[in-house]
């Protein structure tokens, strides 16, 4: 599904260049859930940004279904909107929108009419167990509930790939376990590939594989 080869990313620090990624290569299969692990500064965020088409300034190549990732912002934005979903540590819900409106937002961006938006968003909220909270705004939801809304929003348009950045880091143990299971189950049901950057062993333990980065290099690709 995703193949990346010889990825190298350098940041400028004063007059010096600092390598965040050093010739990183791997292949991620369709519907696979992969944990991206490593200490702070290991290159996880840099790799996640490249694979999420948020950073196009790098050396090497990335392919999705044998098509090379674009390097221009407009093409990248179109692919992100249509084929990608994102889940963040801090949820990033729109405060003035209800749960239903937050979930429906990607559908609106992709040209679905209002009836389609409501039907699909309602069905997705039901799948994450939040149907009765559809009219609630984020400030009236718990952290775990907000993250469920964020997962529903990421999956409502049935993306090929979901990029998740520390999705359980802000949650208590019970909520984190629920979120991990929801992501795994829904990813399998929809055939969606998940790439999850995490320090949380609970999250990594539910993934098929763990890619471990150290100082910008891929050290291991372990089967879980």
pLDDT at 176: 85
Phi, psi angles (nearest 5°) of residue 133: -105, 15
Residue 13 vs residues 18, 20, 53: alpha-carbon distances, Å: 7, 12, 23
Handedness of CA 159, 69, 62, 166 (dihedral sign): negative
pLDDT tens digit sequence for 172-181: 888 888 888 8
Kindly report the length of the chain.
Answer: 224
SS3 48: helix
**Overall CATH class of domain 29-43+73-223:** alpha beta
SS3 134: coil
pLDDT tens digit sequence for 13-72: 777 788 999 999 999 999 999 999 988 889 999 999 999 999 999 999 999 999 999 999
pLDDT at 224: 46
Domain locations along the chain: 29-43+73-223
Angle at the Cα of 114 (from 81 to 140), degrees rounded to 5?
A: 80
CB atoms within 10 A of CB 83: 15
Tell me the two tokens of residue 100: 């239903």
Mean pLDDT value across the chain: 91
Residue pair 51/62 in contact by the 8 Å Cβ criterion: yes
pTM of the model: 0.89
pLDDT at 220: 60
pLDDT at 212: 92
Higher pLDDT pick, 202 / 18: 18
CA separation for the pair 14, 217 (Å, rounded): 23
Residue pair 121/90 in contact by the 8 Å Cβ criterion: no
pLDDT at 17: 81
């Amino acid at each position: 599904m995703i193949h990346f080869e010889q990825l190298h990313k350098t940041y400028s620090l004063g007059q010096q260049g600092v390598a965040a990624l050093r010739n990183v290569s791997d292949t991620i299969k369709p519907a696979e859930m992969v944990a991206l692990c490593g200490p702070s500064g290991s290159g996880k965020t840099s790799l996640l940004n490249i694979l999420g088409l948020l950073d196009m300034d790098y050396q090497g190549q990335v392919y999705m279904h044998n098509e090379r990732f674009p390097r221009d912002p407009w093409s990248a934005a179109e692919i992100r909107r249509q084929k990608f979903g994102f889940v963040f540590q801090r949820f990033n819900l729109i405060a003035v929108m209800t749960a239903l409106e937050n979930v429906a937002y990607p559908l609106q961006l992709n040209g679905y009419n209002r009836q389609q938006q409501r039907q699909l968003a309602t069905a997705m909220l039901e799948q994450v167990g939040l149907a009765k909270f559809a009219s609630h705004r984020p400030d009236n939801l718990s952290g775990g509930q907000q993250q469920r809304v964020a997962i529903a929003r990421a999956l409502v348009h049935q993306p090929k790939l979901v990029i998740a950045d520390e999705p359980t880091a802000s949650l208590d143990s019970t909520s984190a376990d629920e979120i991990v299971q929801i992501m795994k189950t829904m990813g399998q049901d929809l055939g969606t590939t998940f790439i999850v950057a995490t320090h949380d062993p609970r999250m990594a333990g539910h993934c098929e594989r763990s890619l471990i980065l150290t100082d910008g290099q891929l050290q291991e690709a372990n089967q879980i």
